[in-house]
């Protein structure tokens, strides 16, 4: 038992050291992870619940030809939060939509959230039928983090894609159910 605890503590210390080293990296890694460094450094993720309900927004259409089908296993290539990158995920939903990264001031106060990934077209209050463009302001209907719902947000990026709802065990040991959302390019076959 003591040996298992020692191995666990050593593994956790090594993971933490690697995570801290990655956050301080000035190499090209930040480009390959989208804006993960900005996300991870620029916002307080303690208010984000990685798990969610299985309910999806009204009007969201199931994907017609997703790369990953419901029940498939995939590896998470990109991290919006600590513990996502490298975790194995089970697809529980696949939907065709427009995904947006947004910046907004939380309705409950606090620091501005920069480049939050992702909300989708159907999580915007009274969405228009065509996709929004970078720089557009929208009112958010999603509630991924405290202070997000009803916030006015600026669109930082937009992409037409398949988004996935996933279940996974984070690399930090947290069991996550119905996480919304990862995009198709953020997953890879095992």
Domain containing 158 equals 34-188
190 residues of the chain, pLDDT tens digit each: 443 444 444 444 444 333 333 333 233 333 233 333 333 434 444 445 566 778 999 999 999 999 999 999 999 998 888 899 999 999 999 999 999 999 999 999 989 999 999 999 999 999 999 999 999 999 999 998 899 999 999 999 999 999 999 999 999 999 999 999 999 999 999 7
Pair 16, 99 in one domain: no
Pair 159, 181 in one domain: yes
Pair 76, 133 in one domain: yes
For residue 30, count CB atoms less than 10 angstroms from its CB and return exposed for 0-12, middle for 13-18, buried for 19 or more: middle
Pair 78, 162 in one domain: yes
Nearest to 145, CA basis, from 46, 38, 34:
46
Pair 70, 28 in one domain: no
Pair 24, 49 in one domain: no
How many domains, the chain?
2
Which pLDDT does position 82 carry in this prediction?
87
Pair 79, 157 in one domain: yes
For residue 138, the domain's CATH number is: 2.30.30.1210
Tracing tokens 């890694």 back to the chain, one arrives at 29
Pair 172, 86 in one domain: yes
Q: What are phi and psi of 51, to 5 degrees?
A: -85, 160
Pair 145, 181 in one domain: yes
Pair 23, 45 in one domain: no
Nearest to 16, CA basis, from 175, 171, 176, 186:
171
Pair 80, 129 in one domain: yes
Pair 98, 171 in one domain: yes
């Amino acid at each position: 038992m003591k040996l298992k605890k020692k191995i666990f503590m050593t593994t956790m210390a090594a993971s933490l050291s690697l995570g801290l080293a990655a956050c301080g990296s000035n190499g090209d890694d930040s480009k390959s992870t989208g804006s993960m460094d900005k996300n991870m450094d620029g916002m307080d993720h303690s208010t984000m619940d990685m798990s969610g309900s299985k309910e999806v927004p009204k009007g969201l259409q199931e994907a017609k030809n997703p790369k990953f089908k419901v029940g498939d296993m995939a590896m998470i290539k990109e991290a919006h939060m600590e513990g996502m990158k490298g975790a194995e995920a089970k697809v529980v939903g696949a939907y065709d939509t427009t995904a947006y990264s947004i910046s907004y001031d939380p309705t409950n106060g606090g620091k501005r959230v920069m480049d939050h990934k992702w909300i989708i077209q159907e999580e915007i209050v009274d969405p228009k039928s065509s996709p929004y463009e970078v720089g557009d302001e929208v009112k958010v209907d999603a509630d991924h983090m405290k202070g997000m719902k009803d916030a006015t947000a600026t669109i930082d990026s937009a992409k037409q894609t398949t988004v996935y709802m996933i279940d996974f065990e984070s690399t930090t040991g947290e069991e996550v159910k119905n996480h919304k959302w990862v995009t198709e390019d953020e997953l890879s076959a095992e």
